[in-house]
Amino acid sequence: MQRKVHTAQPSRREFLYHSGMGLGALALTAMLHGEKARAGVLAPKQGHYRAKAKNCIFLLMEGGPSHIDTFDPKHKLIDLHMTEFVKERTKFEASMNTGRRYFVRSPFAFQRAGKLGIEINKKFRHFADCVDDVCFYRGLQATSVNHPTALYHLNTGNRFGGDPAMGSWVTYGLGTENQNLPGFVVLPDLAYPQGGAGNWSNGFLPAYFQGTPLRSQGAPVLDMNPPEYVDREQQRANLDFLGELNRRHMERRPAHDELAARIESYELAFRMQAEMPEAIDLDAEPEATRELYGLNSENADVVSLGRRCLLARRLVERGVRFVQVMASGWDSHDYIEKAHGSRMDAVDQPIAALLKDLKRSGLLEETLVVWAGEFGRSPDNGIRGVDKAWGRDHNAPAMAFWMAGGDAPRGKIVGATDETGRTAVETVHPIKNLHITLLRLLGLDDAKLTYFAQGRDKQLSQTGGELIRELVA
C-alpha cells in the first residue's frame, strides 16, 4: 500500500510543492475533493492475490466459548471427572486457574454430523446441517487469559488496544463496493464487549476505516430521515455550505486527516439516507426467510441474534466489505450446563440460517464466515461443588474456531488438542498466523498491507508470521 508519513504542518512553499507545483493543481484538487473518498480512499481495490471471498462476516462469541463443550469433545474427561490435581502457573495461566483443581466432564451430549461424522454438541440441531460447509480448526492458541486484552488481540492484533481492527485493515486494503454504506459495520449485542469501541477502532489508520456500530435494539440507525420541514434540496445545500467551511479550514491544515474524514462522514450520512433504510428493513424479507432466522421465536435471544445475522447478510449482499456480529455471555465459570446451554440455544438457529441463506443465494462462495471467541476454556475447575454446578475457567492454549465460505476448506477438521482439551498439539499456530491466513483468504498479503505510523511500517500481525496453509483450500 502507498506509504503515508505523518509530519508537522508544512510551510506554504512546501505545501504548494507537494500539491503539484502550482495553483492549477490546487484548483484541480479543490474541484475533485468531493470525489476523493469515493474515487480514492474507499473505492474498491484489487487485492494482492486472487480470492473467491470478497467480503467477511465475523461472528464473535464474546466471553470465551468452551471448545470442549461445543466442537471439540473430550471423552477422557468422563474418566477423569472430579479427579483432583495441582496445577502450576504458566504464562498462559491466571492465578484463578492454578493450585488445587478438578477435572470436569462435559455435561452435554454430542452428535456426529456431516459426511465425516464430525462430533458437535447436540444442542446445535440446526448447525448440524451445515457441517459439510465448515472447516473446524483445533490448533489455534491465544496469548492472553484476560477478556479485554484477548479481545483486542483477536480483533486488532495488539493486546493493549489502539491499533486498527481487522475490519479496518480489510477495508483499507480492498475498499468497499457500496459508497452509500459504511465499509466496516459492527452489530454488537445489547452491551458492548469488554474493551468497548477499541475492538473496532481504526487505530492509526485514517478515520475513514473505523467500524460503524449499529444499534442492537429498535432501529439499527437513528435519524435516517430528516425532519419533515427539511427537504432533500435544503439538506444538500446545508451540507454544501458546511463542506465549504470545512474545506477552507482544511486548506490551512492540509495534514489534518481527521477533518477530511469528518467531511466525508457528513457526506456518507447523507448518502446513507438514500440506501440504508432499505438495507435495514428486515420486514421486506419473505416470511419464510424470517422464520429461517428465528425472528418469530419465543426466545428473545434467538430473535436478537437472528435479526443481526439477517442484517449481516443484507449488508454484504449490498457491498459492505466487513461485518462483525457479536454474541456475548460465554464466560461460564460455573453452571456451564445452564450458561453455555442457553448460549448455544441462542446462536444455533440464527448462525445456521446465515450459512444456509448465503449458500442458497450463492453468496457463500464470495463471503468468508468466521466463528471465534477470544480464548477457550479449561478442562478443569477450581471449585468442587454440587454436580453440574461446576464450570470452566479461561484457557489460552486451546480454543474453538471455525470458518466457512470462499477458499476455506469444507467439511474438514484441521489440528487437534490433547486428550483433555487443555492445549493444542497438532497444526498449532498463534492468533497472528490466523490473521495472516484470514487476510490471504480475502486476497490480501499481511506483509504488503502496511501503513507507516509511529516511525515504522505497521501491519495486522504486528511482526509478521506464517500462513496456516491447511486452512486454505
The span from the CA of 233 to the CA of 243, in Å, is: 15
pTM of the model: 0.85
Check: CB of residue 181 under 8 Å from CB of residue 55: no
The span from the CA of 388 to the CA of 379, in Å, is: 14
The span from the CA of 128 to the CA of 124, in Å, is: 6
What pLDDT is attached to residue 18? 40
Torsion, CA 449, CA 453, CA 457, CA 461, rounded to 10:
-60
Helix/strand/coil for 109? coil
Return the C-alpha cell found at 262: 469528518
Rounded to 5 degrees, φ, ψ at 175 are 70, -160
How do the domains of the chain map onto residue ranges?
Answer: 42-221+280-471
What pLDDT is attached to residue 399? 98
One DSSP character per residue, 46-83 reads --SS--S--EEEEEEETT---STTTTS--THHHHHTT-
What pLDDT is attached to residue 182? 92
Beta sheet of 84-87, edge-to-edge order: 84-87, 99-103, 380-381
Q: Give domain 42-221+280-471's CATH number out of 1.20.120, 1.20.272, 3.30.70, 3.40.720.
A: 3.40.720
Could you give the residue ranges of the DSSP H alpha helices within 175-286?
232-251, 257-279
What pLDDT is attached to residue 385? 65
pLDDT in tens, the chain (473 residues): 444 434 334 444 433 334 333 333 323 322 333 344 445 688 999 999 999 999 999 999 999 999 999 999 999 999 999 999 987 766 666 656 667 899 999 999 999 999 999 999 999 999 999 999 999 999 999 999 999 999 999 999 999 999 999 999 999 999 999 998 999 999 999 999 999 999 999 999 998 899 999 987 776 766 566 666 666 677 667 667 767 777 777 777 766 666 666 666 666 666 666 678 888 999 999 999 999 999 999 999 999 999 999 999 999 999 999 999 999 999 999 999 999 999 999 999 999 999 999 999 999 999 999 999 999 999 999 876 667 688 999 999 999 999 999 999 999 999 999 999 999 999 999 999 999 999 999 999 999 999 999 899 999 999 999 999 999 99
The span from the CA of 307 to the CA of 315, in Å, is: 12
Report CA 227 to chain centroid distance, whole Å. Answer: 34
SS3 percent helix, strand, coil of the chain, rounded to 5, is 40, 15, 45
